[in-house]
């Protein structure tokens, strides 16, 4: 199987974010042959086509999108949908000619939120993937609860079942990404 370079993006910007905790766990437990880089979205401005010279944070982000074979989108659910930070990152990346940064690449989705585990936001994200031609992994899905003792006070993932779910999802992402690159 070829190696897989993954860019992980978090829809929550706060320091002790449980969603960042999911991505950190994934990064620390990536299967052999997979490397995971976590994007910093904290300085990325809202997309605006008047910004003809993108700031450094956007340039770095777009270079990370370009270099990635696959993505992990992790994030909370805000008012039953995707958080703006995550959507904004995708919007910036989608403005490149021929959709070169996103089109045809594999993605895994994970999230930590309330009782529905960000499922509503995750299914909205899958809709965004239709136009951007990102190919989401169908299963396994990862739905964590940010309010039920699955994370410590710093946002680190402590729940063994979710940890196992992430490991299974990463293994499936490696296979899915390799299939798409054949
Ligand atoms: C603006 C806003 C809207 C929210 N809406 C939802 C929601 O629709 N569903 C949900 O499960 N949680 C909702 N929440 C709570 C989030 O699940 C909670 O803030 C989550 O833990 C944030 O993730 P983080 O720990 O990564 O920051 C909302 C929070 C905010 C700030």
Residues 18-62 pLDDT 10s? 999 999 999 999 999 999 999 999 999 999 999 999 999 999 999
CA of 141 to the centre of ligand 1 (A): 19
Contact (CB, 8 A) for 55 and 43:
yes
pLDDT of residue 65: 98
* Domain 4-180 classification at class level: alpha beta
Contact (CB, 8 A) for 176 and 4:
no
pLDDT of residue 6: 98
DSSP helix, strand, coil percent of the chain (3-state; round to 5): 40, 20, 40
Q: Which two tokens stand for residue 152?
A: 């410590």
Please state, in angstroms and rounded to a whole number, the distance separating the CA atoms of residues 8 and 180. Answer: 18
Q: Which two tokens stand for residue 44?
A: 């990325």
Q: Which atom of ligand 1 is nearest to the CA of 146?
A: 21
Check pLDDT > 90 for residue 92.
yes
pTM of the model: 0.98
**Is any atom of ligand 1 closer than 6 Å to the C-beta of 77?**
yes
Length of the chain: 182
DSSP state of 120: H
**Is any atom of ligand 1 closer than 6 Å to the C-beta of 19?**
yes
Going by alpha carbons, the residue nearest to atom 6 of ligand 1 is: 78
CA of 165 to the centre of ligand 1 (A): 21
> What is the average per-residue pLDDT within 4-20?
98
Look at the alpha carbons of 26, 31, 32, 34 in this order and tell me if their dihedral is positive or negative.
negative
Phi, psi dihedral angles at 132 (to 5 degrees): -80, -5
Please state the separation of Cα 77 from the chain's center in Å.
13
Q: Which atom of ligand 1 is nearest to the CA of 21?
A: 26
CA of 4 to the centre of ligand 1 (A): 30
**Is any atom of ligand 1 closer than 6 Å to the C-beta of 78?**
yes
Checking 138-141 for CB contacts under 8 A at 24+ apart, the result is: 139/172, 140/165, 140/168, 140/169, 140/172, 141/109, 141/169
Residue 74, classed as helix, strand or coil, is: strand
Please state the separation of Cα 151 from the chain's center in Å.
19
């Amino acid at each position: 199987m070829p190696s897989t370079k993954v860019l992980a993006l978090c829809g929550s910007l706060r320091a002790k974010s449980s969603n960042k905790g999911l991505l950190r766990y994934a990064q620390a437990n990536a299967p052999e042959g997979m490397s995971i880089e976590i994007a910093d979205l904290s300085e990325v401005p809202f997309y605006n086509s008047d910004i003809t010279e993108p700031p450094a944070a956007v340039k770095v982000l777009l270079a990370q999108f370009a270099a990635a074979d696959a993505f992990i989108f992790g994030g909370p659910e805000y008012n039953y949908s995707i958080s703006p930070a995550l959507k904004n990152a995708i919007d910036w990346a989608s403005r490149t000619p021929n959709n070169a940064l996103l089109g045809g690449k594999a993605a895994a989705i994970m999230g930590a939120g309330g009782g529905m585990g960000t499922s509503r936001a995750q299914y909205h994200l899958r809709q965004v993937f239709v136009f951007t031609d990102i190919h989401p992994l169908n299963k396994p899905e990862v739905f964590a609860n940010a309010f039920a003792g699955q994370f410590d006070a710093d946002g680190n993932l402590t729940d063994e079942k979710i940890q196992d779910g992430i490991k299974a999802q990463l293994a499936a992402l490696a296979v899915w990404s390799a299939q798409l690159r054949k």
